[in-house]
Amino acid sequence: MTISKGDTLPDVTLVKATAEGPQKVQSGEYFKGKKVALFSVPGAFTPTCSAKHLPGFVEKAAELKAKGIDEIVGTAVNDAFVMGAWNKASGSDDITMLADGNGDFATALGLTMDGSGFGLGTRGQRYSMIVDDGVVTELNVEAPGDFNVSSAEHMLGQL
C-alpha cells in the first residue's frame, strides 16, 4: 500500500551521510518534531537527479526555510558513501542525505520502481513530500520518466 497524505511515515533504519561517516537513524524518530521537505530520486549521480532535482533544492533552500521548512532531506536507494559524495559534489550544507541502501524506506512507503531494465534493480520512485512531525502533509509522486511535481519549485507553491 502506498503512503498517502495524512499517514505517519514508517519507522525504518536509514543511514545519514555525515562528515564523520555513516550514522544510523530511525525514520520515526528523525522526522519527529520538525517540518521536513523530503525528496527522493531513483539514484544519486543519475542525469535528471543531478541536473535538475538536487540543484533545485539547493537553489530554493533559503526560500523553503523561509516558508517554515526546518530541514531539507534527500534520499535514494544508494549507500551513505554515495549519498555523501553526491551532496559534496552537487549539493550543499542545506541538504541532509539519508541513504536507503537496502530500499527498506522506499518499500515501506510503497514507492518502489523496477529499474532493472537500466541495470539499477529495485529503486525508490521520484517524489517529494512535506512531512510535519512525522506525518505526510503533501505528497508529490512523479509519473515514470517525469520531473514536474517533485521539484522544489512545486513544493514552494504548496507551502
Q: Which residues are catalytic?
A: 49
Q: How far is CA 59 from CA 19, 26, 36, 92, 151, in A?
A: 22, 28, 16, 9, 11
Strand pairing of 13-18 and 95-99?
Answer: antiparallel
Eight-class DSSP state of 8: B
**Nearest residue to 67 (alpha-carbon basis) of 33, 36, 29, 94:** 36
Contact between 155 and 140 under an 8 Å Cβ cutoff? The reply is yes
Contact between 86 and 54 under an 8 Å Cβ cutoff? The reply is yes
Q: Which residues contact 51 (CB under 8 A, 6 or more apart)?
A: none
Eight-class DSSP state of 123: E
